[in-house]
Amino acid sequence: MAAKLLSWACIRNENGGLSPRPHYPSMPKYPKGVNVSFDEESKALFSVIGMTCTACAGSVEKAVKRLPGIKEAVVDVLNNRAQVIFYPAFVNEETIRETIQDVGFRVTMIKEDTNDIYTQVCRIHIKEMSCTSCSTTLESALQAMHGVLKAQVVLATEEAEVQYYPKILSYYQILEAIEDAGFEAMLISAGEDRLQIQLQVLGIRTENSVRIIGNSLQALPGVQDIDFDLDLQKFTISYEPDLTGPRTLIKIIESTGSGQVKAIIFPEGGGREAHKQEEIKRYYRSFLWSLVFSVPVFLMSMVFMYLPGINHGLDTKIVNMLSIGEMLRWILSTPVQFIIGRRFYTGSYKALRLGSANMDVLIALGTNAAYFYSFYSILRAATSKSFKSTDFFETSSMLISFILLGKYLEVLAKGKTSEAIVKLMDLAPATATLLTLDNEGNLMNEEELDSRLIQKNDIIKITPGEKIACDGFVVWGQSHVNESMITGESRPVAKQKGDMVIGGTVNENGVLRIKATRVGSESALSHIVRLVESAQMAKAPVQKFADRISKFFVPLIIILSFGTWLAWFLAGELNSYPKSWIPTSMNSFQLALQFGISVMVIACPCALGLATPTAVMVGTGVGASQGVLIKGGQALESTYKVNCIVFDKTGTLTIGKPVVVNTRLLKNMVLREFYELVAAAEVNSEHPLAKAVIEYAKKLRLDEENPVWPEALNFESITGHGVKAIVRNKEVLVGNKSLMLAQNINIPLDAEEILSETEGLAQTGILVSIDRELVGILAISDPLKPGAREVVSILKAMEVKSIVVTGDNWGTANSIAKEAGIDTVFAEAKPENKAEKVKELQDEGYVVAMVGDGINDSPALVAADVGMAIGAGTDIAIEAADIVLMKSNLEDVITAIDLSRKTFFRIRLNYLWALGYNIISVPVAAGALFPSTGFRLPPWIAGAAMAASSVSVVCSSLLLKNYKRPKELDTLDVRGITIE
């Protein structure tokens, strides 16, 4: 690395001192007192013997991911290891080991403290990659590094994503490895699990000053890691937002510097977009300079020969047979070949040093062949009184010019494929209005500041028409907020005190004061940006086809090019074709040389390499703009094959806001006391039905805004059935019929009749037992989502089968399914049962998508070929899913399937063009049409065709930006249902 870096890492120990900080992945938090641990993660590391290729690793990974409760599985074929992150509530290490063994490999669990075997993911911007051969070679080099678990390099985004063990390897070493391979590397992020800020500190003169400031910062509570770049005078600080924030950090830096230093947010000029713009400008300048030299060479070779006066002057001899025209063409083409075209030499050197060949190798060989043959020709003419030279300087110079034009158009078009991320980033406002309030809430001060300096718990003022600067909740005022840029929901959403708001959305008509809850990289907008970035990095399985071809494409073209030259040369020497075929200005050797060069420069490996990633980038970007977050090419490829969708009921088919509509007491009790016991037992549950009970219980205590419920002891959540607790020395059971039967609670005949009546009305019956006696039944209704029936009907027309799988009772499930138009229902299913049902459908030959929103859906979301999480659902469900439906509308299920089908149609079209171009153009360039038609392709035209091929593939992918969702969805009635 060119820059000198200093680093700190710290955590406060129990004695108040500082000690090295271990790192653990962030985990969801659950309410205090809850015993069920669906969100607890564990890691297991396995030694897998017998894997020989990436296909083996893929089969292991897929088998493991189909198990219930698997969050992540990464298989390292080089080190014969598999790391699995899983939820112990649903699966254990032995089951995972047996599953891998069933695939056909020898497996042993590595007996180490797996909590210490954590990984981090860094993302790196890489410059100077010319084609897919560069990306695959670099990916292999990174994958071979000790400590790297997984590496992905994507040509279209010019980025690498590396998952590595930080105890073995640092991201500095990864950057150095990329630079050693001959590419420029710039760190984008060192991991998504920490909040970071970059501060430029002006006025630092010595390393001692840096250490003093670093020590002051690391002494702050909440500061985790500190890096300092001496060249850029930049601090990169990782911190806990609950304990500190950017304004505090700036204050400490400036106070430590005794007023001699100033800290500011590091200028954005060092970002990826600036690098992208610089690359575009660089290619544009190179192309213009190449034209300055190449156009005169072209005119002298192709035009001026037909103008007698000019032609006579150019043919004037200088030394022996060397003419003025030849001398000028040599002088003008030399800077194009060696200065402007220098990038092709350096690119070739880098590729060959890594043991591969890329597009730069083809261009360098082709232009060198033309240039050095021409140079030999004029050198011989200058030393001979009889040799008449023929040069191809226009071939080398015009070839470089056209290729530079193609690269300029390509980077310009590739920049447009990632416009979705740029637009998302631009949603965040540059400034925000910070309010200072006294203890009574009275306004003391109001100031404008950089929105990146907002800290947790700040009070921010939002005026009408202003963008909301961060995630938070309303503490004062009411208004309507336009959230379409985040969720795709076109209608403004009403906001009042207590309502959550999302950073980047627009306040419509009222003044709001919000309290910041999630800032910086914690915000929903940042999370969406990361999801889209990760999606654009993730390769679709179909990309493997291009990766395999790229390994032998360039060597094959070099062999074909040499074979073409040799065949035409020998044919000419052996008089196998008429002498009249040879142009008057050439001999057989020169004709053969032109055919060989044309073959070498017309072949285009880039078009194949760009066919999939550019379409995936545009497709995922379009999805994000419509509120459908697709997590990469794998998800896209699986979704377009989906022919069966499994719907959860509560919160998915229904609106997810159940309300208590009826209460039937079987014993004489005061209703308020009854609900106090029930609410006390349910308050620790995250289930939507539990929340409905709590809300109804609150209405019975109107005298209190936030009532305190009696203490619940020995709380137990019984998955798929209900809850159990001791309240006021009474055993309270709240749940479904199966819970009561499992606990040997007698259900009277009249209770059975009430349950049947309730279920017949598509309501859920909740039974309440106190001291092992059934005392009441609650009827809870959760209305079907608007448009659900129409969505199911459209899916049927798309030949996609719909199924309901729910933990609710059979009566309610059947009623909701009938209302939605779904024939197949599976009710009273536990989380593991849902996953098992998904696997049964897969065994029957279906490609299954699971649509769910709750923690209990996560095993099924993981097991399905495609998991779709409702955006309003739990974090764990969203994490487990392949696709997130931000608007929580079922119509987006159709949008996701339709968009994936359109995207893969475009990918197929791109491959058809890329393969068809190479299959047709190479024989034409080799002279296949020359004997019958006299048509031959000059090398500089072949180079122009090659450049146009890459551009056409990117432009083809860009047509996806015109995607419109199916017209049938525009007629759906999706007006919201208001729950009082």
CA 33 – CA 14 distance, rounded (Å): 25
Check: CB of residue 678 under 8 Å from CB of residue 836.
no
- For the chain, the distance separating the N- and C-terminal CA atoms, rounded to the nearest angstrom, is 61
CA 363 – CA 379 distance, rounded (Å): 24
Residue 705, both tokens: 């805004």
What does 120-152 look like in DSSP terms, one character per residue? EEEEEEEE---SHHHHHHHHHHHHTSTTEEEEE
- 210: which residues sit within 8 A by CB, 6+ positions away? 6, 204, 228, 230
Check: CB of residue 532 under 8 Å from CB of residue 629.
yes
Of 647, 616, 649, 538, which is closest to residue 868 (Cα–Cα)?
Answer: 647
Q: Which helix (H) or strand (E) holds 234?
A: strand 234-239
- Residue 111 C-alpha from the chain's centroid: 33
CA 210 – CA 231 distance, rounded (Å): 12
Instruction: Please indicate whether residue 116 is annotated as part of the active site.
Output: no
Burial class for 93, CB neighbours closer than 10 Å (0-12, 13-18, 19+): middle
CA 210 – CA 232 distance, rounded (Å): 13
CA 840 – CA 831 distance, rounded (Å): 15
CA 458 – CA 461 distance, rounded (Å): 10
CA 917 – CA 245 distance, rounded (Å): 55
**Candidates 225, 227, 547, 648; catalytic one:** 648
CA 375 – CA 394 distance, rounded (Å): 12
> In angstroms, what CA-CA distances link 954 with 358, 409, 610?
19, 10, 7
Q: What share of the chain is helix, strand, coil (3-state, %, to 5)?
A: 50, 20, 30
Helices (H), 603-658: 605-625, 633-639
Q: Which residue has the tokens 């896209």?
A: 636
- 258: which residues sit within 8 A by CB, 6+ positions away? none
Helices (H), 303-358: 308-314, 324-335, 342-353
Residue 375, both tokens: 């140079």
CA 678 – CA 769 distance, rounded (Å): 9
Which amino acid is it at 615?
A
Four-point Cα dihedral 328, 334, 336, 337, nearest 10: 140
Check: CB of residue 45 under 8 Å from CB of residue 109.
yes
CA 440 – CA 382 distance, rounded (Å): 95
Give strand pairing partners of 494: 480
For 190, the 3-state DSSP assignment is coil
Of 901, 827, 772, which is closest to residue 653 (Cα–Cα)?
Answer: 827
Q: Which residue has the tokens 């289930």?
A: 687
> In angstroms, what CA-CA distances link 335 with 44, 289, 328, 400, 846?
59, 10, 12, 11, 61
Of 957, 284, 130, 160, which is closest to residue 606 (Cα–Cα)?
Answer: 130
- 800: which residues sit within 8 A by CB, 6+ positions away? 642, 643, 644, 645, 897
- 252: which residues sit within 8 A by CB, 6+ positions away? 213, 216, 217, 220
771 torsion bin: left (phi>0), alpha (psi -120 to 50), beta (else): left
* Residues with catalytic roles: 648
